[in-house]
Chains A and B, each alone.
Chain A
Amino acid sequence: MRKDFYSEINANNWKTVMLFVFFFILVFLFGAAFGAYIGDIIFGLVIAFVIGVIYSLIMYNSGAKTILATVKAKEVLKKDDPYLYHTVEGLSIAAGLKVPPKIYMIKEESMNAFATGIKPEKSYICITSGLRKKMNRQELEGVLAHEMSHIKNFDIKVMLLAAVLVGVVILLSDIIFRSFLFGGARGRGGNRDSGGAQIILIAIAIVLAILAPIIAQLIKLAISRKREYLADASAVELTRNPSGLASALKKIKNDVDVKVDSANKATAHMFIENPLRHSKRKQIFAGLFNTHPPINKRIKLLNEM
């Protein structure tokens, strides 16, 4: 079992490299297109890379905090909830982390949880208040152990990078569209030279429309279903109690209120169970496009441990 977790960390390093390569190619394309539009390809490339690098550095370093702010989560201190605090600290000891993750809570009736951060030493576990309220101690421990495993296996780094990458792509395409609209209005005045560049930009607009779903697909690839199974198995290694997490998942499955209101498509892949699912019936049809493996199969695997 232990070998699996090490190979998972290796796989995550590989995915990180792949994400960077993909990111580099996209920024290059945007830069070249912008350069073609203003008539100086080198200048366009420099601008795109400067913006891309600065923006992604800022996003990467403040990403976890930004995500916590978008889902409207607030930090939980020891005095607010001693039991929760002790459990997280205990699990982080069991996982061999040097510093326990900080705990955040979303005021929200539905039950869900996620972990984020760049590295285990600077990570965050976020749960909904509904989860805290409706789970018993063993179930809560199971869910927290699942999130702790994402931290331990460096899943959080890949998930955060994926989110940052999408952010950069959206920002750059936004800049291009804006300059296209602005320049387009001016161009109609009579500058015939810009005609070719505008055609390129229109082509890029089309390419972007095609790229967007591919990017989404890439995130889903990076955040593979196997990762959730592995985090489940890893969680059991921490708690030595498969029934806690199994019963927690069962409770989440049977809950009526499933939607996390503050979650969106960009953050959905981070949660322990898809926060955007609507009802059990609809899920059957959406199965192919799910960010998460079927919960019944996860419960079954846990019960077999």
Chain B
Amino acid sequence: MIWWIWAIIAVVVLSIIGLYNGLIRLKNKVKNAWAQIDVQLKKRFDLIPNLVDTVKGYAKHEKTVLKEITEARNMMKKASDVKGKAAAENQLSGALKTLFAVSENYPDLKASQNFLQLQEELSGMESKIAYARQFYNDMVMRFNTKIQLFPNNIFAGILHFKEEQFFKTEGKERENVKVKF
């Protein structure tokens, strides 16, 4: 009779180990997906001063837009968590959109090879950020679903697994990918 109890304990322990390993694996995937977003955000971050300088040379009067972009960039610099970065990224994307819309009024700027290159680079980055966000949110969704399901939720609580945050953006998902200049 006693060995029945041992068998049940063994099964429970093994399934907890399995659950724990599965959660760690998923959590690392989430972490990795987040790193992908971070890499892209950083790349864009580094491009901004170059863009601001180029635009300044042709469109001195557009101080408001340029200021907005610099502010968004500083905000990105300070942000450390997912929520803060998402907010900064929203602001930066919006400001960049305005800048490219305004640039229509400056034929010289639009004709500049440097500007065109930056524009292509930034729009590519924008779409890569969107893809990275999509992958990250998918992973977060899988992770969160797993720790919410019964009986996982009981053990997840004991093992200190918390829900991960989604990288939310304003407006429709994927919209910024379809932006064409």
Binding site for B on A (CB under 8 A): 82-83, 85-87, 89-91, 93-96, 137-138, 238, 240-241
Specify the chain A residue showing the minimal Cβ separation from B116.
A82
Contact present for B131 and A93 (CB under 8 Å): yes
A137-B180, A240-B173, A240-B174 are contacts. A94–B131 as well, Cβ < 8 Å?
yes
Q: Which 10 A-B pairs have the closest CB atoms?
A: A86-B124, A94-B131, A90-B131, A90-B128, A93-B131, A82-B120, A93-B132, A90-B127, A94-B135, A93-B36
Report how far A137 CA is from B123 CA in the complex, Å: 13
B125 an interface residue at 8 Å Cβ cutoff? yes
Report how far A85 CA is from B125 CA in the complex, Å: 11
Contact present for B128 and A83 (CB under 8 Å): no
Contact present for A240 and B180 (CB under 8 Å): no
Residues of chain B within 8 A (CB-CB) of A90 are: 124, 127-128, 130-132
Contact present for B128 and A93 (CB under 8 Å): yes
Least distance between A183 CB and chain B CB atoms (Å): 59
Report how far A90 CA is from B132 CA in the complex, Å: 7
Contact present for B135 and A96 (CB under 8 Å): yes
25 cross-chain CB contacts under 8 A = A82-B117, A82-B120, A83-B120, A83-B124, A86-B123, A86-B125, A86-B127, A87-B124, A87-B127, A89-B128, A90-B124, A93-B36, A93-B40, A93-B128, A93-B132, A94-B131, A94-B132, A95-B135, A96-B29, A96-B33, A96-B135, A137-B180, A240-B134, A240-B173, A240-B174
Main secondary structure of the interface of B (DSSP, over half): helix
Contact present for A82 and B124 (CB under 8 Å): yes
Binding site for A on B (CB under 8 A): 29, 33, 36, 40, 117, 120-121, 123-125, 127-128, 130-132, 134-135, 173-174, 178, 180
Q: A83-B120, A86-B128 are in contact. List 14 more A-B contacts (CB 8 A).
A: A82-B121, A82-B124, A83-B124, A85-B124, A86-B123, A86-B125, A87-B127, A89-B124, A90-B132, A93-B131, A95-B135, A96-B29, A96-B33, A96-B135
Report how far A81 CA is from B49 CA in the complex, Å: 24
Q: How many cross-chain pairs have Cβ atoms below 8 Å apart between A and B? A: 45
Report how far A135 CA is from B27 CA in the complex, Å: 39
Report how far A83 CA is from B127 CA in the complex, Å: 10
Residues of chain A within 8 A (CB-CB) of B135 are: 93-96
Report how far A138 CA is from B178 CA in the complex, Å: 8
Residue picked from B40, B121, B135, most chain A C-beta under 10 Å: B135
Residue picked from B131, B174, B178, most chain A C-beta under 10 Å: B131
Least distance between A113 CB and chain B CB atoms (Å): 19
Report how far A94 CA is from B40 CA in the complex, Å: 13
Report how far A197 CA is from B87 CA in the complex, Å: 79
Report how far A96 CA is from B174 CA in the complex, Å: 17
Residues of chain A within 8 A (CB-CB) of B127 are: 86-87, 90
Residues of chain A within 8 A (CB-CB) of B36 are: 93
Report how far A138 CA is from B173 CA in the complex, Å: 16
Report how far A83 CA is from B121 CA in the complex, Å: 8
Residue picked from A85, A86, A91, most chain B C-beta under 10 Å: A86
